[in-house]
């Protein structure tokens, strides 16, 4: 059975809605489309040759190597969601070596995890698969619970363990966001000086982003603006949640917005909403990877493939998916990661 037929069957009654859509608000002709020469997007930038080499290592590793697309395994849930809550479904992943083994077995472009987890096995694996060291986290042991991304180590530590890139999160919209933007901008500059690539988790966080029973944390306009700030502080790759709605600025009534901007830039189709995120990444010159979200069980395979189709057809450059993969047996985790890769390897699935 061809990859396209498998993907079509998995999408079911959503197949034509997702595979046949054409984006007209922001046309694909305006985009820089992912491809074998994606690293050339940085050829005229201030990134030094060592950074270009690191970006190239990410894009040219694993099953998607040389395609311009990324499939990264991220496992920092031991901090962000507590280790017990994250790993009780598969106790193997209390041992961080199994995280690296999963990424290798599945043919991922890289593995993103914590200082401690990657450092413990750096001599064995840092030369076998690109390491992305997550340098800050929101820890959940403080009571009452607070939400703040704080550094867990230094950029130099990541470089010393042979990391190809560093990753960081900013909670845009939070009371702490000003400090986080300043911290991560400085960290990214140091990482570039040392020759590492940079990946930014661009999350929105503010209780006011929930209004009248509707959650705007994944609104295309808010997440798109977070992306735009992310590329401004020189992230080489942007990680963002898939948008589920729009009109955050308008409905919450803050920031700069107009009715015309919504009418001219997007529709309510998920591919068009994601296209707005891509546009905010310098029209695709900086790659957008969407997150795979939490694990819901049997529906994970369809959800993962659907997210990959939306991202690819919007002009994004891949997926960064953790819980759907590591919260199940190794064989199934490998299978779901490879099902995502098949979307990006299927030429018939094109940018809308």
Catalogue the long-range contacts made by 83-91 (C-beta closer than 8 Å, 24 or more residues apart).
86/323, 86/327, 87/326, 89/295, 89/327, 89/328, 90/326, 90/327, 90/328, 90/329
The residues annotated with a catalytic role in the active site are: 239
- Residues comprising the chain, all counted: 352
Residue 123 φ/ψ region, left for φ over 0, alpha for ψ in the -120 to 50 degree band, beta for the rest: alpha
CA distance 216 to 248: 6
- Residue 144 and residue 129: Cα distance in Å, rounded? 38
Alpha carbons 285 and 231: distance in angstroms, whole number: 10
pTM above 0.95, yes or no: yes
Looking at residue 231, what is its pLDDT? 98
In our burial notation (b when 16+ CB lie closer than 10 A, e otherwise), range 143-179 reads eeeeebbeebbebeebbebbbbbbbbbbbbbbebbee
Round to whole Å and give the CA distance between 22 and 12.
19
22 token code pair:
């054409």
Q: What's the pLDDT at 298? A: 82
Strand residues in the chain grouped as ranges (E): 70-75, 110-113, 131-134, 136-137, 150-151, 165-172, 197-204, 210-211, 214-215, 237-240, 287-291, 318-320
CB within 8 Å of 170: residues ≥ 6 apart = 149, 177, 180, 181, 184, 200, 201, 202, 203, 226, 229, 230
Mean pLDDT by 10 residues, the chain (352 residues): 92 97 98 97 97 98 98 91 92 96 98 97 98 96 92 98 98 97 98 98 97 97 98 98 97 96 98 98 98 87 96 98 94 96 98 98
Tell me, what's the pLDDT at 78?
A: 81
Q: What is the pLDDT of residue 199?
A: 98
């Amino acid at each position: 059975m061809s990859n396209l037929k498998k993907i079509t069957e998995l999408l079911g009654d959503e197949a034509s809605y997702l595979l046949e859509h054409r984006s007209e608000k922001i046309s694909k002709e305006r985009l820089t489309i992912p491809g074998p020469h994606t690293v050339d997007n940085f050829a005229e930038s201030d990134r030094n040759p060592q950074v270009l080499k690191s970006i190239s290592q990410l894009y040219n590793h694993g099953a998607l190597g040389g395609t311009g697309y990324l499939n990264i395994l991220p496992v920092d849930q031991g901090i962000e969601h507590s280790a017990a809550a994250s790993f009780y479904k598969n106790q193997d992943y209390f041992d961080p070596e199994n995280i690296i083994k999963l990424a290798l077995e599945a043919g991922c472009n890289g593995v993103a995890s914590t200082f401690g987890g990657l450092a413990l096995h750096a001599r064995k694996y840092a030369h076998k698969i690109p390491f992305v060291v997550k340098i800050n986290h929101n820890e959940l042991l403080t009571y009452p619970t607070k939400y703040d991304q704080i550094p867990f180590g230094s950029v130099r530590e990541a470089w010393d363990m042979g990391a190809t890139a560093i990753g960081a999160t900013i909670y845009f919209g939070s009371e702490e966001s000003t400090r986080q933007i300043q911290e991560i901008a400085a960290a990214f500059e140091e990482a570039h000086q040392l020759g590492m690539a940079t990946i930014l988790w661009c999350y929105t966080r503010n209780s006011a982003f929930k209004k009248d029973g509707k959650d705007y944390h994944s609104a295309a306009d808010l997440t798109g603006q977070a992306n735009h700030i992310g590329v401004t502080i020189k992230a080489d790759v942007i990680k963002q949640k898939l948008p589920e709605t729009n009109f955050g600025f308008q409905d919450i009534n803050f920031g700069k917005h107009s009715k015309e901007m919504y009418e001219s830039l997007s529709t309510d189709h998920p591919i068009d909403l994601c296209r707005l995120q891509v546009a905010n990444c310098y029209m695709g010159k900086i790659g957008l990877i969407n997150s795979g979200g939490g694990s819901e069980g049997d529906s994970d395979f369809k959800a993962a493939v659907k997210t990959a189709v939306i991202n690819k057809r919007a002009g994004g450059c891949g997926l960064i998916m953790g819980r759907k993969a590591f919260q199940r047996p190794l064989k199934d985790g490998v299978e779901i990661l490879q099902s995502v890769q098949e979307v990006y390897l299927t030429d018939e699935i094109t940018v809308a």
